[in-house]
Structure 1
Amino acid sequence: MEAMLKKELGTSMLKYTGYSGGGCISEGQSYDTDNGRVFVKINHKSQVLNFVFVCITCTNAITIKAKRMFDGEMASLDAILQTETIKVPKPVKVIELDTGGSAFVMEHLDMKGLTKYSTQLGEKLANLHLHNKRSLDKQMREQQTENEWQHDWVTFYSRHRLQHQLNMVEKSCGDREARELWSHLQLKIPQLFTQVEVVPALLHGDLWGGNVAQTTEGPVIFDPASFYGHTEYELGIMAMFGGFSSSFYSAYHENVPKAPGFTQRNQLYQLFHNLNHWNHFGGGYKGSSLRIMKDLVK
Structure 2
Amino acid sequence: MFNLTKAFLKEVPTNAEVTDFHEVHGGDINKAYSLTDAQGGRYFLKVQPNSVLAFFQHEADGLKLLGQAARVPKVIALGHVGQDQWLLLEYLNATNYGNQYSLGQDLAKIHSITSPNGQFGFDKDFKAGKTSKINTWQSSWYEFFVKQRLNVLRELLINEGKWNDDQNYKKAIEIFQSLMEKHDSRPSLLHGDFWSGNFMFDADSGQPIFIDPDVYYGDPEFDIGITTVFGGFNQDFYVGYQSTKPFQSGAERRLMFYQLYYLMVHAHLFAGSYIQAYRGKLAQIIQQ
Which category of TM-score, normalised to the shorter sequence, fits these structures? Answer: 0.7 to 0.9
* Amino acid in structure 1 at the alignment position of 2:175: K
> Match of 2:183, SS?
coil
How far apart in 2 are the matches of 1:161 and 1:12?
44
Instruction: Show the counterpart of 1:87.
Output: 71
Any unmatched runs of 5+ in structure 2? 119-136
Asked if 1:122 is matched to 2:126, the reply is no
Q: Deviations over 1:160-217 (max 9, x none)?
A: 11111111222222633x1111122222211112332222111111111111111123
Moved more, 33-42 or 223-232: 33-42
Secondary structure class of the residue paired with 1:275: helix
Q: Distance in 2 between matches of 1:160 and 1:292?
A: 20
Q: Is the contact between residue 11 and residue 81 of structure 2 (CA under 8 Å) also seen in structure 1?
A: no
SS at match of 1:31: strand
CA RMSD, aligned part only?
A: 2.4
Matched, 1:25 2:37: no
Identity %: 25
- 1:95–1:134 Cα change, 3 Å: closer
Q: What are the equivalent positions in structure 2 for 1:48-63 lying under 5 Å apart?
A: none
Once residues 274 and 171 of structure 1 are traced to their aligned partners in structure 2, the CA distance between those partners, rounded to angstroms, is 17
Shift of 1:15: 2.6
CA deviation after TM superposition for structure 1 residue 17, in Å: 5.5
Match of 1:228 among 217, 220, 233: 217
Rate the CA distance shift 1:249–1:135 in 2: closer, same or farther, 3 A: farther
Query: Of the candidates 91, 98, 106, which is equivalent to residue 108 of structure 1?
Result: 91
What TM-score results when the alignment is normalised by the length of structure 1? 0.80
The AA in structure 2 aligned to 1:250 is: V
State whether structure 2 residue 47 is matched by structure 1 residue 42.
yes
What secondary structure is seen at the aligned counterpart in 1 of 2:20? strand
Give the letter aligned to residue 178 of structure 2. Answer: Q
Q: 2:147 aligns with which of 153, 159, 169?
A: 159
Deviation at 1:257, TM superposition (A): 1.2
Between stretches 188-197 and 72-81, larger displacement belongs to 188-197
Task: State the TM-score, normalized to the length of structure 2.
Answer: 0.83
Q: Secondary structure at the match of 2:95?
A: coil
Q: Closer, same or farther in 2 for the Cα pair 1:133/1:256, shift >3 Å?
A: farther
Structure 2 CA distance for partners of 1:221 and 1:183, relative to 1, 3 Å:
same
Distance 2:20 2:214 in 1: 28
Provide structure 1 residue ranges, at least 5 long, that are not aligned to the other structure.
48-64, 137-148
CA contact under 8 A between 1:203 and 1:227: conserved in structure 2? yes
Question: In the alignment, what sits opposite 2:190?
Answer: 203
Structure 1 Cα separation of the partners of residues 106 and 254 of structure 2: 22
2:162 and 2:43 map into 1 onto residues whose CA distance is 47
1:20 and 1:279, CA in 2 relative to 1: closer, same or farther beyond 3 A?
A: closer
> Residues 9, 151 of structure 1: CA spacing in aligned structure 2 closer, same or farther, 3 A cutoff?
same
Aligned to 1:219: 208
Using a 3 Å threshold, how does the CA distance of structure 1 residues 4 and 266 change in structure 2: closer, same or farther? same
Judged with a 3 Å threshold, the aligned counterparts in structure 2 of structure 1 residues 172 and 7 are, in CA distance, closer, same or farther, namely closer
Report the count of equivalent residues. 262
Alignment correspondent of 1:245: 234
In structure 1, what is the Cα distance between the partners aligned to 2:26 and 2:18? 20
